[in-house]
Structure formats: structure tokens, C-alpha cells
Chains A and B, each alone.
Chain A
Amino acid sequence: DTGVSQDPRHKITKRGQNVTFRCDPISEHNRLYWYRQTLGQGPEFLTYFQNEAQLEKSRLLSDRFSAERPKGSFSTLEIQRTEQGDSAMYLCASLGVGETQYFGPGTRLLVL
């Protein structure tokens, strides 16, 4: 069991640039979730996948945010035209036995 991995761990970008984050879930987990965590707050849910199907995306923060999981394995989260308010930790989790979510280490984004 290698756990959930995320890449990159840190990203610094300039306002207006596009960024893409990757998440590799635990291999046998079919459901994958994305969350955003701002400083001093609990994570907020963004979107989730069951295999390659994106079953909920209404909670994505704006149309600049999109996510994919094309082959039902890894997932990507893209933010277009980044803004300073997008600076946050982006967390990925996969759903295992007992409806328990296992989290990756997160990608910390800083938009200058």
C-alpha cells in the first residue's frame, strides 16, 4: 500500500498563469476526491470521481477550475488564469473500506 500521492508538493506561479496538479490514489480505490484548504480553515470539498466519471462538480469554485480522471486511475486538477485568492493547499483523497478517506500530502499553491 503506497498511499495517496500528489505532485507537485509545492507550486509558485504568477497571477494569470495556468497550473495543473496530479493525484494518484490508492490503486484499488474507485472514488477520488479533491478539496481545497485555506490557511486556518478546514478543507472544503471541490469535486469527486467514481472511476472516470465525475459525479459532482457543482462545488468547483469557478469555471476556471476543472478536473479529470481519464482512465479511472490518476486525476488532475487544473486552475486556469490563476488569481491570488487561489493560493491554498489542494488535497486529494481516495475512498477505502468503511467509507474512510485517505489523504495525500497535498499541493501547496502560491499565486504571486
Chain B
Amino acid sequence: AQTVTQSQPEMSVQEAETVTLSCTYDTSESNYYLFWYKQPPSRQMILVIRQEAYKQQNATENRFSVNFQKAAKSFSLKISDSQLGDTAMYFCVFMNSNSGYALNFGKGTSLLVTP
């Protein structure tokens, strides 16, 4: 079974600064997907960024980018120019076809962006 570990339960960053959220995972599969989802307080889960394991190039979406290290089974999220609206719980998520594309979530990192 795959496990996803987020070792930072809480983090804080000042507005306009950069922050990196860590994630490691364990799998014996070679083909899989990794995601970061964001869950703002009392709001629904939304996708931040996705990475396909066969792609060596790190995914980027505007201010969000990942550092995907397949051999190390590491998948960190970097948020640049942090904004107050980035305050949320961030989940690192593993998925592959063997589980019917069901998502396997880490425990989450609560990020607070302060003025």
C-alpha cells in the first residue's frame, strides 16, 4: 500500500514571501500521479498542481511549482509571492491506476499567510 507523509503539520509565511511544503511517499509502482490539493477554511477541496511520474520536468502553475524527485520519492510544493488567499490546508496526494485512480492523501499541512 502506498503511504504519503507530510512532516510539517503547520507552517506560516509572510505575504509576498516564498514557502516550501514537503511531502514524501512510498510506492513500488513506476507509473503514478502526484497532486497537491488545497482546502481553504470551510471551503471545498481544489486542485493546485499535478505531476505525472513519467515526466521528468517539474510542473508549474503560476506561483505554484513542485520539486519532484522520483528516486527519492519526494514531491515538495513551492509557493512564491504568497498571498492571504493561500491560507489553507494543503494535501499531498498519490494516485495510480492499480487503485482505480482513488486518491491517497497525506495528513496535510496547515499554511497560514500573515500580512
How many residue pairs link A and B with beta carbons under 8 A? The number is: 57
A7 to B106, CA, bound (A): 26
Minimum Cβ distance to chain B for residue A33 (Å)? 6
Binding stretch for chain A, among B11-19, B40-48, B64-72, B73-81 = B40-48
Residues of A within 8 A of B99 (CB): 45, 56
Which chain A residue lies CB-closest to B35? A100
Residues of B within 8 A of A40 (CB): 107-108
Contact B46 A103 (CB under 8 A): yes
Interface residues on A, range: 20 to 34
A99 to B33, CA, bound (A): 8
Query: Contacting B44 at CB < 8 Å: which of A33, A42, A56, A105?
Result: A105
Task: Tell me whether A22 is interfacial, beta carbon within 8 Å.
Answer: no
Residues of B within 8 A of A45 (CB): 99, 102-104
Residues of A within 8 A of B46 (CB): 103
Q: Would you list which residues of chain A between 24 and 72 have a CB under 8 Å from chain B?
A: 31, 33, 35, 40-45, 48, 50, 55-56, 59
Contact string against A for B residues 84-108, beta-carbon threshold 8 Å, 1 for contact and 0 otherwise:
0000000100010001111111111
Task: Tell me whether A79 is interfacial, beta carbon within 8 Å.
Answer: no
- Residues of B within 8 Å of A, CB-based: how many? 22
Q: Which of B4, B101, B103 has the most CB of A within 10 A?
A: B103
A105 to B104, CA, bound (A): 19
A91 to B37, CA, bound (A): 14
Query: Contacting B50 at CB < 8 Å: which of A42, A50, A93, A100?
Result: A100
Query: Contacting B101 at CB < 8 Å: which of A43, A95, A104, A106?
Result: A95
Q: Would you list which residues of chain A between 81 and 107 have a CB under 8 Å from chain B?
A: 91, 93, 95, 98-106
List the interface of chain A (C-beta within 8 A of B).
31, 33, 35, 40-45, 48, 50, 55-56, 59, 91, 93, 95, 98-106
